[in-house]
Amino acid sequence: MIPKQKITIYDLAKRLNTTASTVSRALKDHPRISKKMKEAVKELAEELNFHPDPIAHHLRTGKGLVIGVIVPRIDRHFFASVIGGIQNIAQQHGYSVIISQSNESYEKEIESIKAMLNKKVDGIIMSIASQTVDYKHLCQLMEVVPVVFFDRIPKLDSIDYVVNDNFQIGYKAVEHLIKQGYKKIAHYAGPQNLLQYRERLAGYKKALEDNNLEFREEFIYHNTITMPTGLESTEKLLNSKDRPDAIFAAGDYSAITAIDTIRKAGINIPSEIGVLGVANEPFANYFSPSLTTFELFNKKMGEKSAELLMKKLNDPESVDLLQTMIIEPELQERGSTKK
């Protein structure tokens, strides 16, 4: 399995009474090398378990077969699964994946980018930090290597990206709640500097409008996608004079704390209040009641992102081509909204 000693193309060449250049060419099926030679080289390479040194290759060609992935945090299930998907595709293409976390910080995002470029990655797949509102560093980055954004994308023209259909998430969420008979639908909104949360809110508004329900500013709970904010907002909501009868949370985390808080207040879900989340986090099906939420196909998002990047990396024609992909979410109707 493991090369005992460092073995190079020169070793192969010597054994075959030829030169390194011939070996190098034979190994990559250069057209002007004889069939016989190719076979001989490959056989010997196999026998000696020879693998060309990627570092030397990298130095010589500038291509390193490495891509970088930058995410806000790796220990979020969503990002971890996306990375899993990226990995799968990258591996298939012989690329390895190096990972860095921005911890939601603009500064650390810049640092991560620098580190990646320093490592001479061939391309980058990233999801921006929530604190990132200025995109200069991204523009600069894109001039150096191909970049594919996913999920949290900057509002810039001419970027390649893969996202969920966030407008549809908002729209379908409200539509579903209305169908279930809910009339006063609150929204736990995400940070509005992130496009996806603006779109979820936009979908929410449009669905209300299309169903002749009034949009009420007081039904919007801003910046409520974490557990602590979910708790806080839910307490506020339960104490409000005109209490909503449903909650569309922009993420599962706040939806889950909502369920917990409401239940502890002795109010029934789904009959008195319905709760709907986004992301289908692990175990979403195991709360009581089970959480209605959107499956987002994280792994697929990773795979698609990697495919886009691979294309840009390997197909010279595609370099200037803008590639985008929108993944349709799938509503998982469960106990928290089924009256």
Establish if 113 lies at the interface with a second copy (CB under 8 A).
Answer: yes
Q: How far is CA 113 from CA 118, 123, 134, in A?
A: 8, 11, 14
Establish if 18 lies at the interface with DNA (CB under 7 A).
Answer: yes
Q: Which helix (H) or strand (E) holds 150?
A: strand 147-150
Q: Cα–Cα distance between 177 and 185 in angstroms, integer?
A: 8
Q: How far is CA 81 from CA 160, 181, 297, 300, in A?
A: 20, 34, 9, 9
Q: Is 98 in contact with 118 (CB distance < 8 Å)?
A: no
Tell me: cis bond preceding 289? Omega within 30 of 0 counts. yes
Q: Minimum distance from CB of 291 to a second copy (Å)? A: 10
Would you say 55 or 158 has its CB closer to DNA? 55
User: Strands of 185-188's sheet, edge to edge?
Assistant: 220-221, 185-188, 246-249, 274-276
Tell me: cis bond preceding 270? Omega within 30 of 0 counts. yes
Would you say 63 or 236 has its CB closer to DNA? 63
Residue 61 bridge partners (DSSP) = none
Establish if 316 lies at the interface with DNA (CB under 7 A).
Answer: no
4, 28, 136, 241: which one binds DNA (CB under 7 A): 28
H/E/C letters for each residue in 104-148? CCHHHHHHHHHHHHHCCCCEEEECCCCCCCCCHHHHHHHHHCCEE
Establish if 47 lies at the interface with DNA (CB under 7 A).
Answer: no
Establish if 4 lies at the interface with DNA (CB under 7 A).
Answer: no
Residue 318 bridge partners (DSSP) = none
Would you say 28 or 241 has its CB closer to DNA? 28
Establish if 228 lies at the interface with a second copy (CB under 8 A).
Answer: no
> Which of a second copy, DNA, none is residue 42 near (CB under 5 to 8 Å by kind)?
none
3, 14, 19, 267: which one binds DNA (CB under 7 A): 19
Establish if 92 lies at the interface with DNA (CB under 7 A).
Answer: no
Q: Cα–Cα distance between 309 and 222 in angstroms, integer?
A: 35
75, 157, 217, 242: which one binds a second copy (CB under 8 A): 75
**What are residue 207's phi and psi, to 5 degrees?**
-65, -40
> Which of DNA, a second copy, none is residue 120 near (CB under 5 to 8 Å by kind)?
a second copy
Stretch that binds DNA, among 5-13, 158-166, 186-194, 306-314 (CB under 7 A): 5-13
Establish if 27 lies at the interface with DNA (CB under 7 A).
Answer: yes
Stretch that binds DNA, among 6-14, 80-88, 110-118, 274-282 (CB under 7 A): 6-14
Q: What does the angle CA 212 – CA 335 – CA 218 come to, to the nearest 5 degrees?
A: 40
Stretch that binds DNA, among 53-61, 99-107, 111-119, 304-312 (CB under 7 A): 53-61
41, 97, 309, 331: which one binds a second copy (CB under 8 A): 97
Q: Which residues bind DNA (CB under 7 A)?
A: 6, 8-10, 17-22, 24-25, 27-28, 30-34, 36-37, 52-53, 56-57, 59-61
Interface ranges with a second copy (CB under 8 A): 1-3, 51, 53-56, 58-59, 64, 66, 73-77, 79-81, 83-84, 87, 91, 96-101, 110, 113-115, 117-120, 137, 140-141, 143-144, 256-257, 259-260, 263, 281-283, 286-288, 298-299
